[in-house]
Amino acid sequence: MIRVFGWNEFLIIVVAAQWTIALSAIAFAGGSVGGLLMALMRVSEVRAFRRFATGFIRLFQGTPLLMQLFLVYFGMNIVGFAINPWIAAAVALALHASAFLGEIWRGCIEAVPKGQREAATALGLRYYHSMRHVILPQAIRIAVAPTVGFLVQLIKGTSLASIIGFTELTRQGQIINNATFSPFLVFGTVAAIYFLLCWPLSLVARRMETRFSRATAR
Amino acid sequence: MYDFNFAPVLAAFDQLAIGAWLTVRLSCAAMLIGLVVSIFCAWGKTSGPKILRAVIDGYIEIIRNTPFLVQIFFIYFGMPSLGLRLSPNSAALLALVVNFGAYGTEIIRAGIESIHKGQVEAGWALGLKRAQIFRYIIMKPALRTVYPALTSQFIYLMLNTSVVSVISADDLTAAGNDLQSATFASFEVYITVTLIYLALSVGFSALFYAIEKMAFKYPLSR
């Protein structure tokens, strides 16, 4: 018996978007902490830190997100945790986001004119205070637009969590499609929901970018 | 303590190599066809009629704001209802081309817009034809400007091909999946596959760097 794709099926898919949003939010939160750490290590004066962060970023930017998900998923078992798609997806996406945000934010920190750091040192500020009160507040202004841009990439990335069995928007679409067999409608709906989530963010990122480049153009 | 067992993975390494070769071919084919699409769309966006511009804008926004996985499901499962039935590998190629085309268009458009208007006018003044101006005065320097962006987009495309395994195209990830279900050595299989991807992206980066050194040897400005 094939179910017909009607209101209920549509609503089930729409409701599943909450898991996509939740996973994106968790990955973004985790990625922000990791990304800040990576960015600071990347511009650190300690060579071992710089090397570690560079290696971490290269590794995650040079391998597919799907493999990162698989490795965390199957790796959990090896480290002694029970396999859990929720945790595996959140951890893998957070690590992925750490690498990408680390690289983006490193660029933003380096874009702050060198004289600012020197002035902070001249005023007698130590590392923590010069970062906290001088460098980072300026870097954050540069970072907002590319960070929002990456958030779009991260939301799209959460769709891969469906492959390790995490039921979010895409997986729910697959389940409904298996019952109704109207792939055109189902995946059209799924795509439309992703579009509604991502497009406003893309527009905001683009607008901020133009405004910023206009404000800084001399 | 977990006992790592790489023996069955190494024994079936030729399977992975075959998958990796398809990944390389798929990526290169998608890149080349996608570039043609991108150049056409970039031309349409910068100097085409208004309606074409709107269509291209819509295409770019839709592709860039939806996941590749959903795009490939839509093409592989959704298209047959429109009468377009594709084998997994062709559907994978089509999805990759469509996806790369959207990103490539924006990259190439940025390159075209970096060409100073005076250059084109100088071309007209020298009596060059429209096609010649497009090829020598616009495309050649534009491609050079955006070369780094294009190559990193290619690496991104290649890593993205791992997703095509879900529609059972037989790429590297799919070879890994098969091996995993035959040996149950999940972690060993996927770490090997991941390292192959890493080697591919490092290798391609080196190759692109060498090409850049060879192809763009001529000086940038007099």
In this predicted model, what pLDDT tens digit does every residue of A137-148 receive, in sequence order? 999 999 999 999
Q: Taking CB atoms and an 8 Å cutoff, what residues of chain B touch A159?
A: 67-70
Residues with Cβ within 8 Å of A39's Cβ and at least 6 positions away in sequence, in order, are A53, A101, A102, A103, A104, A105, A106, A108, A109
Provide the residue ranges of all domains of chain A, joining segments of one domain with +. Answer: 7-216
Closest chain A C-alpha to B116 CA, distance in angstroms: 19
In a domain, B120, yes or no: yes
In a domain, B220, yes or no: no
* CA atoms of A122 and A117, how far apart (whole Å): 9
The CATH T-level fold of domain A7-216 is MetI-like fold (1.10.3720)
Nearest chain B residue (CA) to A160: B69
Q: Tell me the one-letter amino acid at B215.
A: A
Residues in chain B: 222
Residue range B161-214, pLDDT digits in tens: 999 999 988 899 999 999 998 888 889 999 999 999 999 999 999 999 999 888
Cβ–Cβ < 8 Å for A93, A161? yes
* CA atoms of B201 and B157, how far apart (whole Å): 10
ipTM above 0.85, yes or no: yes
**Residue whose token pair is 């560079």:** A54
Nearest chain A residue (CA) to B159: A64
* CA atoms of A100 and A102, how far apart (whole Å): 5
User: Of B70, B165, B186, which has the smallest distance from its Cβ to A190's Cβ?
Assistant: B70
Helix (H) or strand (E) holding A73, with range, is helix A65-79
**C-alpha distance from residue A27 to each of A22, A52, B182, B218 (Å):** 9, 21, 32, 45
Check B65 against A75: CB less than 8 A apart. Answer: no
Nearest chain B residue (CA) to A64: B159
Neighbours of B210 (CB within 10 A): 10
In a domain, B119, yes or no: yes
Task: Of A31, A49, A21, give the one whose Cα is nearest residue A100.
Answer: A31
Q: What is the mean pLDDT of residues B60-75?
A: 96
> For the domain that residue B194 is a member of, what is the CATH number?
1.10.3720.10
* CA atoms of B105 and B114, how far apart (whole Å): 14
Residue range B83-124, pLDDT digits in tens: 888 899 999 999 999 999 999 999 999 998 888 889 989 999
Give residue B195's domain range. Answer: 7-215
Decide: helix, strand or coil at residue A84. Answer: coil
Instruction: Enumerate residues 33 to 92 of chain A having a beta carbon within 8 A of any beta carbon in chain B.
Output: 59, 62-68, 70-71, 74-75, 77-78
Residues in chain A: 218
pTM: 0.91
Q: Does A180 touch chain B (CB under 8 A)?
A: no
Closest chain A C-alpha to B122 CA, distance in angstroms: 28
How many structural domains does chain B have? Answer: 1
Helix (H) or strand (E) holding A137, with range, is helix A136-157
Return the sign of the alpha-carbon dihedral for residues A189, A202, A60, A98.
negative
Cβ–Cβ < 8 Å for A127, A104? no
Neighbours of A14 (CB within 10 A): 16
pLDDT bracket for residue B69 (50, 70, 90): very high
**Per-residue pLDDT, A77:** 84
Q: What is the mean pLDDT of residues A185-195?
A: 95
**Per-residue pLDDT, B222:** 45
Cβ–Cβ < 8 Å for B172, B22? yes
By CB atoms closer than 10 A (0-12, 13-18, 19+), residue A6 is exposed
